[in-house]
Amino acid sequence: MKFTGHRAALTVISIAAFLGITAGVGLAADIQGKVTAQGMRSAAGIVVYVDAQIGGPPSQHVTVDQKKMTFIPHVIAVQKGTTVDFLNSDAVGHNVYWPSVGGNKGLAHNLGTWPQGQTKSFTFNDLGAVPLLCNVHPEMSGYVVVVPSAYHAVTGADGSFVIRGVPPGHYAVKTWSSGGKPTVQQVDVGAGGATIALTVTR
């Protein structure tokens, strides 16, 4: 089959665009490493994220469960614009509210109280840490940490983390933790990814 004139030009452009997209995807790599905590009980539950507005807009919801009087997960990182579904799996009513977002009390919100098996949702469009609380059970607490990019992770029990599929480039990688000072480290991500070590102090 022959292509001539305008049609041939469009075909060449389409093929070039496809190759560019697939090449970019192929170059994406991981940022991995470990966080060491100083003066803190543990290095677990620390958010590590790429501080850049990269990654497409979030389309999938994420879930925070309320089970056995606990927010699960205790700490979750989400990209700005993500909708979080708050599920109640307990046989008692739970209330979810937050007194601020990123320290801004003007962004406080109360979702109300709902029974077992039901879900209430909220879309987080403001950056910062969202401290989750329950009016019914004051011992409950958790965090939604809203970050600018789709590239983030939460450290495991030993402080290790992996941020997957980061496009090549130079980035500032930052941390957030409930009991430590924020940290930042510059990193260059190439085809082989990058490995970094971070220290968070109280």
**What is the C-alpha R_g of the chain?**
21
Tell me: the pLDDT tens digits for 100-117?
A: 999 999 999 999 999 999
Q: What percentage of the chain exceeds 90 in pLDDT? A: 83
| Residue 56: per-residue pLDDT | 77
Q: How far apart are CA 185 and CA 120, in angstroms?
A: 36
Task: Judge: domain 56-148, CATH 1.20.200.10.
Answer: no
The reply to whether 29-55+151-202 and 56-148 are identical in fold is yes
Could you please state the CATH topology (level 3) that the domain comprising 29-55+151-202 is classified under.
Answer: Immunoglobulin-like (2.60.40)
Residue 27: which pLDDT band, with cuts at 50, 70 and 90?
A: confident
Tell me: the pLDDT tens digits for 60-107?
A: 999 999 999 999 999 999 999 999 999 999 999 999 999 999 999 999
Q: How far apart are CA 91 and CA 121, in angstroms?
A: 19
